Structure 1
């Protein structure tokens, strides 16, 4: 549900906790009376002014920088006041409370409140105001949250490109080409008695093919952008003492998990996000898979299977030094079979043969498929990293990637499906132009969902509710 978007709103715009600077932000119509109450004077537009922030008695709560952004030249498109104070949590709460109190104060001259209805903002409501007032489209608004949440440098740079409008411009270019094609089809429908074949003369088929090619390029960059944002979940699984914890430590470059020769040392999931060429990979080390009478270890093994079921990829670790032991090899195959039976066929299970530095040379041939490495020495780790990127579907694209979300990718897939049906209609000996026009309309609708040219209130509510307070 959309918030009441006509109310003035206020919030602490900086992260919780102590810091050198904290910001309280207010947005709404005609903030001048509130500015005078808090700052003791009017402020020049968009000019930082150092002054005291006044309480109800005229005493200073703090001294800091105040900036007034009159409408429409502000982030939200409304009047915006930013108070940059010292970043103590208690002080910022006092300053926010003072904003609410000053707004509700009844002016004796007018008999009205300075800023009626001022309330604390909901998560994402400042960005929502910017979207509703035409300062940002929906893809750019989402990029704000993505930029804040970015866990890698590549993700941050890609989110910045989306925020600047690069992704939106691509979508608008596709939409404009689609609108032009729809006009041709509608013209043919509206004037069927004309001898001129609008579609053939305007090379509608060539335009549609060009549109589909361009869509493919946008889809490729969007898929990479979604991967940069979400990453993939990789679970390391295998029997006890195969070197799972050592592999996690080697990939992370830190001693995150306890390594021991005692079977069953890892009894719970140890997870870490690593970067491989800017792509976030969420790696989980799990308890060794075996039958156990230890109650705590059994709980860890159950959690390991839970992690396996939710994985995007499995690294099944084999101990190369035990590869010629019949019982060990048989158990490995049984576990592999169970894992593959648990997962959808689309989830890859990669065989990783560990301890190459300790295995006799004659056993290295046991690694018939997969990757051979040594978690201890680091040999083979780069090959594993590259293989993980391949599994994730990462490609080094020649142009900059913009950050995208799963809903963007899904919308582009629907556009492609509708355009494919439209191409089939257009190529038919007797095209059914009504169906062709409908497929083009549905394609445009799917594109519009990305930038928010139209959309349901429920969709907007879900998107902006995931933002932090003050954004």
Structure 2
């Protein structure tokens, strides 16, 4: 988007599509007051809700509602903002948007110029982008707005609210301030070598670097937790037909989502449901039963199995179900071993496999213990349960959270994204190199200064202090129109 496009006034419906009790049309730009006058027939007081008609070109009411005028810079975007809050019918809202566009293009009675030149429809996320560009919020706070809207759990919503309030930005800015101080000392030493300042000793550079690295690691731990709250985990249920995958999905979800019958091959395609455990969202996918390729001639079942392996390849975790009631059958045990081998080849360490021994209620306790201790289940990666009775489900939920690295704490967490985690990791890598240069006897101050600069830049990308236009376009294009 060009700079002139970012300067032009914009208008959009700011409420969700469809019918509702209230609908909002929002206008943002410089010099919005004359448009407010044309639409309402009166001069609006700043930040005061005024009830009345919204007028068409002939002075007839399109709707009646509240009009609010927020002169810049004391507004959401930092520009003049007008909000028309009327009834939430889509036709009425589109009429109001169209009226805003025609009124803006009409000549002003006093000057003869357009009332609000260049008014156009807003692009997705453009109101929030303007708030960022006008220094009302930083980039991490802008992303938190979208995360708050998209939050799928209460914990995620609370964490997004903390990020929107600046909790995450405060941590990042504190790190950046420490880096700025270090960079100032290093570059001053480079600029005035004749002063013979023993930088490493007198400025305690190593101590400051160690402190910054420790603080950065703490922020990274919190960011990973926040990213987990936002992104969640994709968990795939895999195993032979009739191992109890659909029953386990229903048990985890607490609802009859998948059809369960004794007939092998009942599930032919993927069935998914998003659940939450301690506020962490998990997308659980039930897949078609897996067999050796030579065991089926059913084309539909072959397609279902192919989709199962595709889902497995994209999973964060795989729950490999074993039917304890059939483990003593040689053919069944051989097929399980073959599937386990193929799982290892398909995942190549990218995902974690948890071996779930189902139908524990149907066999003796001694048999359960024997299978838990034997291959293919490595120590710590196996759990026995009964999807029918619910026994062992809590242990599985706990295992999933532990595998994800969840620290069982939501208070004080802020929302983060994978790009934030990556930027923090990059900053930590450059700090580690800076520590190595600082430890050298010859000083290597020029290399130390460069690593500090790169670490500083990486942190700046989180809050938007250093952001390319293509990054901004990628972020804000994912927002809804009107926000």
Coarse TM-score class (shorter-chain normalised)? over 0.9
Superposition deviation, residue 295 in structure 1 = 2.1
Q: Structure 2, unaligned stretches of length 5 or more?
A: none
Given that 2:275 and 2:284 are in contact with CA atoms closer than 8 Å, whether structure 1 keeps it comes out as yes
Aligned to 2:394: 382
| Alignment partners' CA distance in 1, 2:24 and 2:411 | 36
2:235 is the alignment partner of 1:234? yes
Q: Given the alignment of the two structures, is residue 348 of structure 1 paired with residue 348 of structure 2, yes or no? A: no
- How many pairs are equivalent? 471
- Partner Cα distance (2:206, 2:110) in 1: 70
Equivalent residue for 2:337?
333
The answer to whether the Cα contact below 8 Å between 1:188 and 1:199 also exists between their aligned partners in 2 is no
Whole-angstrom CA distance in 2 between matches of 1:206 and 1:284: 49
Partner of residue 482, structure 2: 470
Q: Does 1:367 align with 2:372?
A: yes
Task: Answer yes or no: is 1:312 the counterpart of 2:316.
Answer: yes
1:54-453 pair list within 5 angstroms: 54-290=55-291, 291-364=295-368, 365-368=370-373, 369=377, 370-397=382-409, 400-453=412-465
Alignment CA distance shift 1:203-1:399 (3 Å):
farther
Distance 1:398 1:196 in 2: 46
TM-align CA RMSD: 1.2
Counterpart-to-counterpart distance in 2, 1:455 and 1:135: 16
Indicate if the aligned counterparts of 1:314 and 1:348 stay in contact, CA closer than 8 A. Answer: yes
TM-score (norm 2): 0.96
Would the aligned equivalents of 2:155 and 2:410 in 1 still touch at CA under 8 Å? no
Of residues 190-199 and 317-326 in structure 1, the stretch that sits farther from structure 2 once superposed is: 190-199
Q: Deviations over 1:232-270 (max 9, x none)?
A: 100000000000000000001111000010000001100
- Deviation per residue, 1:134-164 (Å, 9 max, x gap): 0010000010000000000000000000000
What is the SS of the residue equivalent to 2:196? coil
Deviation at 1:399, TM superposition (A): 5.3
Distance 2:143 2:181 in 1: 28
Q: Is the partner of 1:66 in helix, strand or coil? A: strand
CA contact (8 A) 1:2 1:457 kept: no
C-alpha distance in 1 between matches for 2:67 and 2:109: 26
The CA deviation at 1:56 is: 1.1
Find the counterpart in structure 2 of residue 10 from structure 1.
Answer: 11
- Bigger drift between 359-368 and 25-34 goes to 359-368
Whether the 8 Å contact between 1:13 and 1:22 is mirrored in structure 2 is yes
Per the TM alignment, residue 429 of structure 1 is displaced from its structure 2 partner at its CA by 1.3
Contact 1:321 / 1:363 at 8 angstroms: preserved in 2?
no
CA deviation digits over 1:338-361, x for unaligned, max 9? 011011313111100000111234
Q: Aligned pair in 2 of structure 1 residues 356, 2: CA closer, same or farther (>3 Å)?
A: farther
Give the alignment's TM-score, normalised by structure 1. Answer: 0.98
Higher mean alpha-carbon deviation, 13-22 vs 288-297, is at: 288-297
Q: Secondary structure at the match of 1:211?
A: helix
Deviation at 1:455, TM superposition (A): 1.4
**Distance in 2 separating the partners of 1:383 and 1:171:** 36
5+ unaligned residues in a row in structure 1: which ranges? none
Cross-structure match for 1:47: 48
| 1:3-59 Cα shifts (integer Å, max 9, x gaps) | 721010000001111111111000011111100111110111011111111111111
Q: 1:293 Cα shift?
A: 1.9
Alignment partners' CA distance in 1, 2:2 and 2:113 = 28
